[in-house]
Structure 1
Amino acid sequence: MHDCMMRARSVVKFVANTDLDDLAVSSNLNISDSLEMISKRHPNAAQFKIDWILSHQPQHWDSIQNAKNLNFDLQSVRVLKVENIRWDYRVSKKMFHRPERVIHFDMHTVYRNELGNDEENQHTTIEMFDNPDLYFLHLRRFERHLLHPLPVEYNNNFNHSLLMRMNTKMLDQFTKRIEGTEFAEYSFNPWAMEARQTMRDLEQCRREAFGTILDDQNQICQQSSAGCEGMLTAGVNFIKTTQTWTNVAHKALFNSYVEKAKSFSLF
């Protein structure tokens, strides 16, 4: 992450700090135009921190034979009610950075920005919460026999019509890009089997790595650029840990981002 941000300086204007399952959404269906307009209103901004909204999206991997079968399926996205999102994820946000203005950061937090034009104060972080015009969807893709989340309620007031328009635009662009290419006809079989295995491996890896103590035998480069940069600068060698789980297909554990809504009473 840190290396990406450094290389992006003076090359691109904005860098989205996201995971592969995060989908940036703007009400005008043009992220670049939205960020340009916001930048004009906040010329001293180093980053724009926006909502990261947890949603569920069932998968239909068995129907995918080649690229022409792909459909982004945004019509199946269900956004969770805030009360059903685990607290630490409920308060987490994602960001668009101006790469030449940020120094230390991690996936959800900024620790230090470059000094502004006055050479005394840092460039600012603009918080844009509860903004229907710009946000990230966290698309937790799952299948019932792989992941069994707690019963949750969904936000029925969410504007799904925007996602439908976005799905149409994305699919049109994708279809044009693959038209007449070998990739369009390339067989993905056995797609479903490999996708499920990859999902199990990634989820288990996340659980094992999260919270692991850094020591001489087990050194993991943290997501935070502040921690990672220091270790790289000091010339610390990173050791790839051995896989400690077996028979992943049956024993993998999965992260859960949801919780039961709590009821409060004064009596």
Structure 2
Amino acid sequence: MYTVAVIGAGKIGEVLLSGLVKAGWPVDQIVATARREERAEQLRNRYGIRVLANAEAVQAADVVAIAVKPQDAGVLLAELGPQIPAGKLVISLCAGLPTSFFTKWLAEGTPVVRVMTNTPALVDEAMTAISAGPHATAEHLAVAEELFSPLGRTIRVPESQQDAVTALSGSGPAYFYFLVEAMTDAGILLGLPRQVAHDLIVQTAIGSAIMLRDSGEHPVKLREAVTSPAGTTISAIRELENHGVRAALLAALEAARDRAKEIADQAS
């Protein structure tokens, strides 16, 4: 067991903290940093961990997980980069930032692993993609998997695919919430009370996702099983196609991917 420092324990950083604590990681081997003292006190009270200054946290840790906003990463690394020895594993949770951004600030040979998780980590149902930087080995990837597996599922991908991962699963929960919001409004339009519409949609979404995960069937086949000739479902599908919903989703994910690239360019 090794000590983990979460640098910048905001929303995503706290997700990791929470997952480690729930998984039984010793609290004396978890440290965090926070900008404001009231936030630091909140983390101490909630998890029983140490909240230290950035430099102290880095010195205390075997693994440094950086979870600050991408635009703040440069300033942070200018401060901490010289204090991180080459053998210490650095894990980046900074959306859009490639591992090459970190290696500019770190000692030659420092292993960096890039991670993109998502907010369902709060209910232990995250999808976390893990990529190796130039000096990261299979052993380093295994460490990252050990840290993030309590939050849900993990998958290894080449770093070149991480911007697509950000667009698809990193931002993905927002698309589903948007869809549920729209379907709830539709249910109200059709005469259902808001809570009834909400409950119908949420349970339908949960059941459909579990069927998709556990059946092993292609989504087209599952959709066809619901779509009878001249029935209600095919009428709805026709309207979705007529309104370009499929094309809109493709364009939306491309826009998210492109924005991830822009963030990296702006931070460089």
- Report which of the two has the higher share of helix: 2
- Report which of the two has the higher share of strand: 1
Larger RCO of the pair (alpha carbons < 8 Å, separation 6+)? 1
Both structures adopt the same fold (TM-score exceeding 0.5): no
TM-score scaled to structure 2, two decimals? Answer: 0.25
